[in-house]
Structure 1
Amino acid sequence: MDISKLRNSGMVIEAVFEDLKLKQQVLKDVEDVIPDSAVFASNTSALPIHQIAAASKRPEKVSQLFDLVPSLASATDVGLRQGKVVITVKDGPVSPTELNTATVAFGWPIGLATLADEVGIDVVYHVAEFLSTSFKTRMAVSGGDIKVLKEMVAAGMLGRKSGRGIFHYPQNKSSTYLENNEVLTLMERFSITPKAENTRERIQYRLFSRFVNEAVLCLQEGILVNGPVDGDVGAVFGLGFPPCLGGPFRYLDMHGSANMVSRMDEFRAIYGDQFEPCSLLMEHAKNPDKQFHKR
């Protein structure tokens, strides 16, 4: 690419692979060309934006523009700028189609198995590895093994872009996609005995509870500068959070933080400390009258 063509750009959006050194090098190269007033926006879904900006001559002009769900992102001019992303993996014998059905039924705009193929299995693996290494127990996979993803990448099963991933994508662009038998065989190799019954509701809440807890932790750590409203807007429009639930903070206000903590305590006893509720969520659970949004 001839980056000299960017010399008059007011904003440059970077979307290279999730590698810190690569992103920093792209930033340096682009900054040599673009005006001092231009904004450099990274589309990173895992790397903290301040680490990328550390290589910049103008760090105040470096931002994050996260576009994970294109259909939703095109409906709004505002991209979610958030420093943490939740990656959760099941441990029971649930097929990709069943996972899609469970997540769409809960309100997600796209099934999570399909989403992994759309994003790219190589990207999903890299993000999962980065988060589990950087955040240890908090971002540990829930009983699964990311080696499944690693082997898929090694076999060239990268998702839609390679024609096969969790599903097969025929060249005739059919809207019907069949599960990839190679992946099903791989899943058999890595399968483990479920620690509890995997009902649809349990699958949904194992995914959902950690997402919500992470949102509350973002508020607790001061990442959501403008409070719960930004967290709800960002989750719905930037991450595909079920719009019918109003966002993680609105959901907690409506259904009760105590109920969420109760579910997480149950999951924690079965699956481990990655389901430990953060202190702010615990604080709200102990006081039923405490709301994230002012009434």
Structure 2
Amino acid sequence: MRFVNPEQLKHMLCNYVVANGYQLCYKKNDSRRLLVKCCSGACKFRLWASRTSEEKAFQIKSLINEHNCARNFKLGSIVNYAWIGTHYTTQFLQKQKVSVRLLRDEVKEKFRIDISMGQCRRAKKYAIELIEVTLVDHYAKLWSYDEEIRRSNPGSTVKINVNAMPDENKANWKWFLENLKDDLHLEDGFSISLMSDQHKGLLEAVKEVLTIAKHRQCARHIVANFRKRFSGVHYETMFWKASKASTEPLFNAAMKEIQVLNHVAYDYLVETNPKSWSRAFFQEGNMCDAGKMDYLRALIVSSGMQGKSQSSPC
């Protein structure tokens, strides 16, 4: 059996020990050879692998796959942070704020192995680094995507000129919105709802380009800032009650509960313009689907502030 490099073989060995509960140790471990035995010393298990001379590959030369030791899921150093991190890249891509303690609990429940908090911290860092490298690789393919779009959809408008350090100012947002308005035929913004995270200059640009578009704020970002000032699950629960209220009386009742609990918290929310984040004030025909708006918001930010044509203000 051949592998691209020793790391690929070690990853396979991690899968093997986790699935079977065997404690294996590296007796020889370098770029040219790998000798693996059972840590107990009583088993016959032995794996020898080395780099092939004729090809740039790593090959298992001999294997005695026999165990007579008791299974033990305290697997020690053979299951390292890199192995853990590769199994959780998708989870960290979706939610990077997963705590180290929660990660340790999930690893124990899913794989039945005990790992240290230090391993979890390094695993999280490794997974995030993998994600960042992957995203960089994807951005490097933007021009290939451009060519494919033009080939498969003649007449498409594609504007790409990556700027690593864009300025979120009114001029840049106005340029982007004018292009978006032209491409999507948005006219003056009738029946359009724009959700933002209060990006600098965006609201002013919208007022000029899409004059009658409705403005919404992302409730998740409002509550995230709210939590920083007022800790406690009860504050968040009451905020969502006000955010999801379907009528003004229900909204007022929810806000009254917050005012009774803490008038400072109430004043803070009033200053955030509740009409932009509470369902009670949304007009019929201008509702926002949270999932779709999350996608569109991410698209606007990544496209508007990272993809710039040669004629952009920057």
TM-score of the superposition, structure 2-length normalised?
0.21
Name the one with the larger strand percent.
2
Greater C-alpha Rg: 2
TM-score of the superposition, structure 1-length normalised?
0.22
